[in-house]
Amino acid sequence: MKKYVIKYAGGIEQHIMQAVHNSYNEAVQTLMDYLNANNDFLSLTDDNYLTPFDFKIEEVESAEVNEVITDFESAREALGGKPNVDFYVVKRKHSEKVAIFEDIARLVTDINPKHIKALIALNKLFTIAEAWNKEDGFVPDFSDWNQNKWFPWFKYDKDAAGFYAIANTAPSFAYSYFGSRLCFKTPERAEQFGKQFEDLYNKVFL
């Protein structure tokens, strides 16, 4: 399928904003949003001032999302994040890229050590699912009853002492309590996600 990738004008990959997009218009919007934020307090003569001519948008043939986004790191990169700089800790929240100091403190003091591995796995599932849905252009809207939202379904195998994904997925009107972070556009995508990341689901479930 076709994707649109924002690169530096010379063709070098960039990691200062989301690189891969499903449409040309989405790529243009991401680029313009970044330029506006970057140039907000800069003069035209500032060395850090950027223009659209500093970048280019390439149309490329891309593999399926399950072949490209295969783990937490590739998901974080697809969402425009980088290790150790995804979030900034501040006293007041003013964007999605910041975490409130009080929340971080509570996370450290209130967390049950027995659940740390499960919470890490859950964070990975949330992040990978977000990246998959972004690639699919799917935004769950639980106020829209006409929009189906599909979830992986699991069955416990006592011999293997673990859960495995099966084909039985369910639309949102039946299982909306699962929440929007782990639902998908089609039953095929939900089943694919469940099977590909069974190990992470088992770390959460068991």
pLDDT at residue 12, rounded to an integer: 93
Residue 10 pLDDT greater than 80, yes or no = yes
Does a structural domain hold residue 10?
A: yes
Domain membership of residue 86 (yes or no) is no
Considering the chain, what percentage of its residues have pLDDT values greater than 90?
A: 42
Give me the mean pLDDT over the 133-140 stretch: 87
User: Does 118 share its domain with 58?
Assistant: no
Which residues form the domain of 39? 2-62
In a domain, 26, yes or no: yes
pLDDT in the model for residue 52: 96
**How is residue 53 annotated by DSSP?**
G
For residues 66 and 192, is the Cβ–Cβ distance under 8 A?
yes
53 and 121, same domain (yes or no) = no
pLDDT value at 40 more than 50 = yes
Q: Is the pLDDT of residue 46 over 90?
A: yes
Is the Cβ–Cβ distance between 193 and 154 less than 8 Å?
no
**pLDDT in the model for residue 88:** 53
Q: Is the pLDDT of residue 154 over 50?
A: yes
- For the cut 70, the answer to whether the pLDDT of residue 167 exceeds it is no
Q: Mean pLDDT throughout 7-28?
A: 90
Q: Which of 9-13, 59-63, 128-132 has the lowest mean pLDDT?
A: 59-63
If DSSP codes are grouped into helix, strand and coil, which group holds residue 137?
coil
How many domains does one find in the chain? 2
119 in the same domain as 46: no
Question: Do β-strands 55-61 and 2-8 pair in parallel, antiparallel, or remain unpaired?
Answer: antiparallel
